[in-house]
Amino acid sequence: MATSAEAETPAPSPPAPRRVVLPALLFAALALAPVAARFGAEGFILSLLSRAMIFGIAALSLDLILGYGALVSFGHAAFLGIGAYAVGILASHGMEEIALQVPAAIAASALFAVVTGAISLRTKGVYFIMITLAFGQMLFFLATSLAAYGGDDGLTLPGRSLLFGTRALAGNASFYYAILLCLLVAYLLCRSIAASRFGRVLRGTRENATRMEAIGFSPYRFQLAAYVIAGSLCGLAGALLANQSEFVSPAYMTWQRSGELIVMVVLGGLGTLHGAIIGAATFLLVEEALSGLTEHWKMIFGPLLILVVLFARGGILGLLRGNARG
């Protein structure tokens, strides 16, 4: 049985070919899913998988700072809410072009990340967790006070955003592939960052910040840059979520949502990137299945997650690798 310390440590990287094959199979399966969905409840399947991919982007962004930088942010869902509200507020003022909304969502999320990250990263450990939680809740209560944009009740969008003045995203299949493209770009970006000198410094900071300072690197600057990148990607996920549900709510940025994002990352496998996508999909699929049985589905899911953490070092990917070796 793995100890709790081992369970929280990212699993060692598999050989290079295996690092490529599994993500390739994952994206191939997602690309072919709409074809298979035609033989079932197509609308429901596409909606569920679209939501899974959106949360996959959010979990992927969190894995960049959690899995590679050991930064446990309990306010990461704030960026999801910022991205969603950027779309909702602009749409309510007649600006429905996604080419305008997405950059606005990313810019607003990046700005919030710069301001809050510059303060939060001056703390460590539980203090970092608490201050990110405080910033997230501050934004949540700000959203509930925006009476002009629905307040507690949220804001209903008139429809999905326009793409260069057309309704190209109105169809479920076209919107699905737009999300898949965003997920692929986000994954490749995070993967290139993780493999770069920047990523190596970030991992070195996770292991021993004092040693990194001694050889001439500033952990604070690298962590802040990673925090801003992660926040920006989560803002993109928020913009897509607003379009997917055609609704914006303060509930998107609660601390419970941040906790769910952490669960997705841990469930899939810390520091693996594609594990975050698998974890997000697994979380939402299990939620959908269990919520059909009981409204208290989290009481069933909680023990299952504990079993994964205790017996599968490295989450679902760690379990798969263990089976492959066996």
d(CA 120, CA 265): 21
Q: Per-residue pLDDT tens for 30-69?
A: 999 888 888 777 788 899 999 999 999 999 999 999 989 8
Q: What average pLDDT does the structure give for the chain? A: 87
Task: Quickly state the pLDDT bin for 84 (edges 50, 70, 90).
Answer: very high
Mean pLDDT of 73-82: 94
Instruction: Report in angstroms the alpha-carbon separations of 134 from 62, 110, 221.
Output: 17, 18, 22
Task: Quickly state the pLDDT bin for 8 (edges 50, 70, 90).
Answer: very low
Nearest to 85, CA basis, from 9, 149, 20: 149
326 has a pLDDT exceeding 80? no
Q: Per-residue pLDDT tens for 176-221?
A: 999 999 999 999 999 999 999 999 999 998 888 888 888 888 889 9
Q: Per-residue pLDDT tens for 112-142?
A: 999 999 999 999 889 999 999 999 999 999 9
